[in-house]
Amino acid sequence: MSSYSYAAPTSVDEAVEVLATNAASGQRTQCLAGGTDVLVQMSSVDREPRLLVDVKHIEETNAIDIGNNEIYIGAAIPSAILNENEELKALLPGLIESADLIGSTQIQGRASIGGNLCNSSPAGDTIPALIAVGAQCVIAGPDGTREVATEDFITGVGTNCMSDSEFLLGLKIPRPGARTSDAYLRFIPRTEMDIAVAGAGVALTLDENGVCTAARVSIGAVAPTALLVQEAADALIGTNVDDVALQAAADACSAAASPISDKRGTVVYRRKVVGVLCKRAGAIARDRASA
Amino acid sequence: MAEAVDLKAIGTRPIRPDGIEKVTGRANFGADLNLPGMLHGKILRSPHAHARIKSIDVSRALALDGVISAVSGKDFPEKSGNDLGVNIIARDKVLYDGHAVAAVAATSAFVAEQALALIDVEYEVLEPVLSIDQALSDNAPLVNENNHTNGDTSKPASNVAAYQIMSRGDVEKGFAEADVIIEGEYRVPTAHQGYIEPHACTAAMNEDGRGTIWCSTQGQFDVRSNTAAVLDKAVSSIRVIPSEIGGGFGGKTTIYLEPVALHMSELTGRPVKMVMSREEVFRATGPTSATLCRAKVGAKKDGTITAATAWLAYEAGAFPGAPIGPGCMSVLAPYDLDNFKIEGNDVLVNKPKVCAYRAPGAPQSMHAMECAIDELARELDMDPIDLRMKNCSDEGTVAPYGPTFPPIGLKACLEATKAHPNYQKAKPENGGRGIAVGFWFNIGMQSSAEVRIAENGGVTIMEGSPDIGGSRASMCLMASETLGIPYEQINAHVGDTEGTGYCNTTGGSRTTFATGMAVIQACEDIIAQCKQRAALTWDLDVDQVDWEDGQAVPKPGVNADVSPLSLADIARSAGRTGGPLLGRASLNAQGAGASFSVNWTDVKVDKETGRIDVKAFTAIQDAGKAIHPAYVEGQMQGGAVQGLGWALNEEYIYNDDGIMENAGFLDYRIPVASDMPMIDTQIVEVPNPSHPYGVRGVGETPIVAPLAATSNAVRDALGFRIYDLPLSPPRVLEAIDEQENA
Ligand SMILES: Cc1cc2nc3c(=O)[nH]c(=O)nc-3n(C[C@H](O)[C@H](O)[C@H](O)COP(=O)(O)OP(=O)(O)OC[C@H]3O[C@@H](n4cnc5c(N)ncnc54)[C@H](O)[C@@H]3O)c2cc1C
């Protein structure tokens, strides 16, 4: 095949069939959501012909469902739509903020959380936020759907656990209960249009006395994949999430990080800053949870 | 000098003649021209910083369907094996990552790109020279085995292409008299102009040996002569048609693609279009020099500076030509000194050949000296403005580079700073404020202009200075003022090399001054002709006729019962009075007036991440006379943002092999709009006596002071100085940590 081709299935079954048929024939296939990664890659580093399977004409990839126990976000919903959803913003402020950090207004008209996750960059901004809120990835394939925790979904730099005949339908997130909230912060040298040098997402629950009863902490851009840092969560649980606890969580994040030195930052810098971000995001999540 | 009170058009802010075309997307830029049968050219670039080319084989590329031509250095005339020609296409050695090695022309850009991968080049990799320190060290590899400093072959070959010195008085004695001496070593990284529009051209060679080039450039006449030189052709056989330009800032004062495209057009008989990618722009076009500058300044307790020295080393890239001349001229220009010594070194390294970037050379050297002056003020416990006021150059000061300053606006800028509400405001809590002076000497050079009058009196200006900063609007305003005709009746056009008289390249802030002067003189030519035509019509002597408010009138006291003749009246009957009205002027403008500035900025530093937040920035600059104040302010704001970007994050990052790692806007971080505060501006007007309306160039000076102003503000916020730029978060955090652990 020496040219590009394009398919826009309108149902899960149709999509799975297109993917499976093409995979079987040995041709290169790639899913397309907003295209803000795919199209950029196609016009620069990777021009190889392929079949693009547009996944945003399927009901399940476009649905938002805020249930009593669970929130479902379709994989192809652009950030702009999420950012306008006040209910989601109130329930998952950190996750929605992470989607709101992607690119610019123009990019957000297209960029999706599903695309951000499936692109599987170590620096993807929504990934630590998704891990922090405990999101499950709903994957559709020839054998039906399966669910995988976000921290297990990504397997390496630019790789994930999906086969060629699978695609991401959406994300299931436990609905945050009382005194539960989240926050995500990233560090970039500029104020926007940049790539995270480090990122940290924190979700936590406080009891009536302000004592942390549950926490999840995830860090990004400081290892081949975003990490769930249990030691950082443990440092917060059972405390009032005061400065001492936050510093302990920060130190745990710095210790868990295994960054590289590159044009965007040194090992020392990233280690230090990821801790600072954890501390600051933890304080924001705490204030939100106690508000 | 026209009386300031008389001015009607100059100093107003009408919309620009090219505005509608640009905001509606209809303006044509370098890549917008397409011709029937056109081929697409692409360049294969060196993956090595320094290597000998052992062989190049294009046969596999030529065999690819759709490839029509493939060339390498040996296909170009031997005569063009000079720096310009070798930079455009390598001969026996590649001298930097991205150096052009071969080129193909194919029926589509995609095929051309595929063909590049089929060109076989065998390299013998050599050790690259990647920094000034390395270049100057003993036993450093040589970028060019035949380079001897200042051409002196009695000395061994070296990586220093040129050395220059300027001095006055006795610096030893001066430092001996000083109560306080400040010394420091400062590094500024390579910075790219960052114009939005990549280099692009289309070239077509005819069977009769005449070629046409459409391209984005700051100087169509230089494209013509340089292309002719590289291809060993007659200058007059090439016509160059400049497009609208999407930014240049000095970077489009030279050529890269044009000779390659024209050569492949000649070989194929078809037009060839070439457009650089952003990556190519970064890797292979000329940024400005990375520098190492040592500044030393001594003063008495009362603030009188007794001596200053500057030692400057500028990376030239792989060919001589770093802007050490202007770097040396500028470094101490703000100060009236009895004793100084300024040395400049033009240093070869295996990086792209540098090109002009706004006030070439001045930001780097003045960064060092303005930081030193700031330290001096701290050491003396003196207000930094007072210290500068005490020592500043003024009318009558002999500039370090020779001439005696006519009236200049430095004092006026310093006074305006002290009086400015932003300066009187407190600096941000836990933040810092930094001040610095900027300078550029400005240039004149050659310009031509024609003023053509239509039958209805409409005015068309034809000149040859590509408009990179709103100069057409300024030309129209000066013509409007001179002729007494409304701005709206005047159009200005930038002609191609066949359509207008010779103009030097737009650069050095010469256009409004020099081409403006030509336009004014061409308008005066029109006025003289109109007076003649009126005299003829009225049967008067020409010296009995005046030109007032756009019409010919009899001089006061002349007894003639006639009504005034407007430009339109005279134009309508021009056929009966001697033919169409056509005014002309050509000149080599003398007396460019230096432009000084004072900038200050307020910053906050996030001490946990090293991030600098620029809270406020104010630029005050002497424009001589602001023809179009909004465009002067625009120059001041744009230069400030470019200077801030350079101070904060911009830098070329090379790996140990000399391969550029951040050849794109994601990792070569120019500021985005949300990074910047409002850049407040105040124009000071101390007229340049050598220009009819007092114009000084304004485009260069704005980028000079922001570097040191930012450094000084960060110094103020942190309580200690970071000597090197950029003040990127990792560098700042490292410095904070070092300071805490010290
Ligand atoms: C100017 C600019 C700025 C940016 N800024 C940021 C930023 O600040 N932070 C950040 O994290 N990213 C940033 N990005 C990257 C990009 O916008 C995000 O990763 C975005 O979320 C991708 O979403 P998309 O819908 O456009 O994905 P696409 O480009 O359509 O797809 C991305 C990848 O995911 C795969 N994919 C998409 N959907 C599915 C699916 N449902 N099932 C299986 N595979 C799928 C595609 O095959 C592809 O490999 C930026 C990009 C640009 C161009």
DSSP string, B665-693: TTTS-PPPGGG---EEEEEE----TTSTT
* pLDDT, mean over chain B: 97
Asked if the Cβ–Cβ distance from A189 to B611 is below 8 Å, we say yes
Q: Which residues in B lie closer than 8 A to residue A193 (C-beta atoms)?
A: 672
What is the number of domains present in chain B? 3
Same domain, B384 and B460: no
Residue A34 CA: distances (Å) to CA of A9, A174, A270:
15, 26, 30
Same domain, A16 and A86: no
Could you read off the pLDDT of B331-386 as tens digits, one per residue?
Answer: 999 999 999 999 999 999 999 999 999 999 999 999 999 999 999 999 999 999 99
Parent domain of A84: 63-174
Give the number of other CB atoms < 10 A from CB of residue B432: 22
Distance in angstroms (rounded) separating the CA atoms of residues A132 and A23: 33
The helix/strand/coil state of B144 is: coil
Q: Provide residues of B within 8 Å CB-CB of chain A.
A: 110, 113, 608-611, 648-649, 653, 661-662, 666-667, 669, 671-672, 674-675, 728-730, 733-734, 737
Residue B742: predicted pLDDT: 84
Q: Which CATH number do you get for residue A235?
A: 3.30.390.50
The helix/strand/coil state of B579 is: coil
User: From the CA of A188, how many Å to the nearest CA of chain B?
Assistant: 9
End-to-end CA distance of chain B: give it in Å, rounded.
60
Residue B174 lies in a domain: no
Residue type present at position B40: H
Same domain, A72 and A152: yes
Same domain, B417 and B311: yes
The residue from B559, B589, B619 where one domain ends is B589
Parent domain of B112: 33-126+199-275
Q: Which CATH number do you get for residue A95?
A: 3.30.465.10
Q: Which residues in A lie closer than 8 A to residue B610 (C-beta atoms)?
A: 269
Q: Which residues in A lie closer than 8 A to residue B734 (C-beta atoms)?
A: 266, 268-269
Phi-psi bin for A265: left (phi > 0), alpha (psi -120 to 50), beta? left
Same domain, B266 and B314: no
Measuring from each residue's beta carbon to the nearest atom of ligand 1, which residues come in under 6 Å? Answer: A 30-38, 40, 55, 61, 75-76, 101-103, 107, 110-112, 114-116, 118-119, 124-125, 167-168, 193
Look up tokens 């990179």; give the residue.
B468
The partner residue sitting opposite B671, judged by closest CB among A190, A262, A263, is A190
Interface probe for B, chosen from A107, A185, A194 (most Cβ of B below 10 Å), is A194
Q: Distance between alpha carbon B708 and the CA centroid of its chain, in Å? A: 19
Could you read off the pLDDT of B450-508 as tens digits, one per residue?
Answer: 999 999 999 999 999 999 989 999 999 999 999 999 999 999 999 999 999 999 999 99
Question: Phi/psi of residue B563, each to 5°?
Answer: -95, 155
According to DSSP, the β-strands at B490-494 and B459-463 are: parallel
Same domain, A40 and A115: no
Q: Work out the burial of residue A87: count CB atoms within 10 Å of its CB; fewer than 13 is exposed, 13-18 middle, 19 or more buried.
A: exposed
Distance in angstroms (rounded) separating the CA atoms of residues B593 and B598: 17
Residue B150 lies in a domain: no
Pocket test for ligand 1, best of A28, A59, A106, A116 (most atoms within 8 A of CB): A116
Could you read off the pLDDT of A104-156 as tens digits, one per residue?
Answer: 999 999 999 999 999 999 999 999 999 999 999 999 999 999 999 999 999 99
In this prediction, residue A3 has a pLDDT band, given cuts at 50, 70 and 90, of confident
Distance in angstroms (rounded) separating the CA atoms of residues B519 and A271: 61
Same domain, B455 and B541: yes
User: From the CA of B653, how many Å to the nearest CA of chain A?
Assistant: 7
Residue B354 lies in a domain: yes
The rounded percent of chain B whose pLDDT value lies above 70 is 99
Tell me the two tokens of residue B514. 């020099």
Could you read off the pLDDT of A260-283 as tens digits, one per residue?
Answer: 999 888 999 999 999 999 999 999
Distance in angstroms (rounded) separating the CA atoms of residues B34 and B139: 51
Residue B548: predicted pLDDT: 96
Residue A43: predicted pLDDT: 84
Interface probe for B, chosen from A188, A261, A269 (most Cβ of B below 10 Å), is A269
Residue B2: predicted pLDDT: 41
Residue owning the nearest CA to atom 31 of ligand 1 = A115
Q: Which CATH number do you get for residue B612?
A: 3.30.365.10
Asked if A87 reaches chain B (Cβ–Cβ under 8 Å), the answer is: no
Q: Distance between alpha carbon B113 and the CA centroid of its chain, in Å? A: 32
Q: Which residues in A lie closer than 8 A to residue B669 (C-beta atoms)?
A: 189-190, 194
The partner residue sitting opposite A263, judged by closest CB among B609, B611, B661, is B661
The helix/strand/coil state of B741 is: helix
Same domain, B338 and B462: no
Residue of A nearest to B727 (CA): A189
Residue B618 CA: distances (Å) to CA of B333, B418, B601, B607, B680:
21, 12, 6, 24, 5
Q: Tell me how far the alpha carbon of residue B113 lies from the centroid of ligand 1, in angstroms.
A: 26
User: From the CA of B631, how many Å to the nearest CA of chain A?
Assistant: 27
Same domain, A185 and A250: yes
Q: Which residues in B lie closer than 8 A to residue A190 (C-beta atoms)?
A: 649, 669, 671-672, 674-675
The partner residue sitting opposite B667, judged by closest CB among A191, A264, A272, is A264
Asked if the Cβ–Cβ distance from A190 to B733 is below 8 Å, we say no
Q: Work out the burial of residue B146: count CB atoms within 10 Å of its CB; fewer than 13 is exposed, 13-18 middle, 19 or more buried.
A: exposed
Residue B5: predicted pLDDT: 57
Residue type present at position B540: L
In this prediction, residue B79 has a pLDDT band, given cuts at 50, 70 and 90, of confident
Same domain, A212 and A251: yes
Same domain, B693 and B572: no
Residue of B nearest to A264 (CA): B667
Q: Residue B90 pLDDT > 60, yes or no? A: yes
Distance in angstroms (rounded) separating the CA atoms of residues B716 and B736: 13
Asked if the Cβ–Cβ distance from A269 to B649 is below 8 Å, we say no
Q: Tell me how far the alpha carbon of residue A132 lies from the centroid of ligand 1, in angstroms.
A: 20
Same domain, B101 and B248: yes
Nearest residue to B437 (alpha-carbon basis) of B701, B133, B253, B150: B701
Residue A4: predicted pLDDT: 87
Q: Please enumerate in sequence order all residues whose Cβ is within 8 A of that of B551, keeping only pairs 6 or more positions apart, or say none.
A: B484, B564, B565, B566, B567, B569
Asked if A3 reaches chain B (Cβ–Cβ under 8 Å), the answer is: no
- Per the omega criterion (within 30 degrees of 0), is the bond before B407 cis? no
Distance in angstroms (rounded) separating the CA atoms of residues B53 and B521: 54
The helix/strand/coil state of B513 is: helix
Residue B177 lies in a domain: no
Same domain, A170 and A67: yes
CA angle B550, B555, B561 (to 5 degrees): 95
Same domain, B229 and B319: no
Q: Residue B237 pLDDT > 70, yes or no? A: yes
The residue from A114, A143, A174 where one domain ends is A174
Q: Residue B667 pLDDT > 70, yes or no? A: yes
Question: pTM of the prediction?
Answer: 0.96
Same domain, B578 and B697: no
Residue B1: predicted pLDDT: 44
Q: Residue B605 pLDDT > 90, yes or no? A: yes
Same domain, A73 and A159: yes
Tell me the two tokens of residue B214. 């459409």
Residue B715 lies in a domain: yes
Residue B677: predicted pLDDT: 98
Residue B227: predicted pLDDT: 97
Residue B165 lies in a domain: no
Helix locations, B82-148, DSSP H: 83-88, 109-116, 132-136
Residue B3: predicted pLDDT: 45
What is the number of domains present in chain A? 3
Cβ(B473)–Cβ(B628) below 8 Å:
yes
The partner residue sitting opposite B609, judged by closest CB among A195, A268, A276, is A276
Asked if the Cβ–Cβ distance from B729 to A194 is below 8 Å, we say no
Same domain, B509 and B610: no
Q: Tell me how far the alpha carbon of residue A120 lies from the centroid of ligand 1, in angstroms.
A: 9
The residue from B249, B275, B301 where one domain ends is B275
Same domain, A151 and A107: yes
Q: Tell me how far the alpha carbon of residue A107 lies from the centroid of ligand 1, in angstroms.
A: 10
Distance in angstroms (rounded) separating the CA atoms of residues B519 and B524: 9
The helix/strand/coil state of B508 is: coil
Same domain, A40 and A103: no
Q: Tell me how far the alpha carbon of residue A233 lies from the centroid of ligand 1, in angstroms.
A: 29
The helix/strand/coil state of B472 is: helix
Question: Phi/psi of residue B451, each to 5°?
Answer: -120, 120
Asked if A192 reaches chain B (Cβ–Cβ under 8 Å), the answer is: yes
Same domain, B295 and B270: no
The residue from B540, B570, B589 where one domain ends is B589
Same domain, B302 and B263: no
Cβ(B651)–Cβ(B642) below 8 Å:
no
The single-letter DSSP state of residue A213 is: E
* pLDDT, mean over chain A: 96
The rounded percent of chain A whose pLDDT value lies above 90 is 91
Q: Tell me how far the alpha carbon of residue B31 lies from the centroid of ligand 1, in angstroms.
A: 29
Residue B29: predicted pLDDT: 97
Ligand 1 atom with the shortest distance to the CA of A39: 29
Tell me the two tokens of residue B78. 């031997």
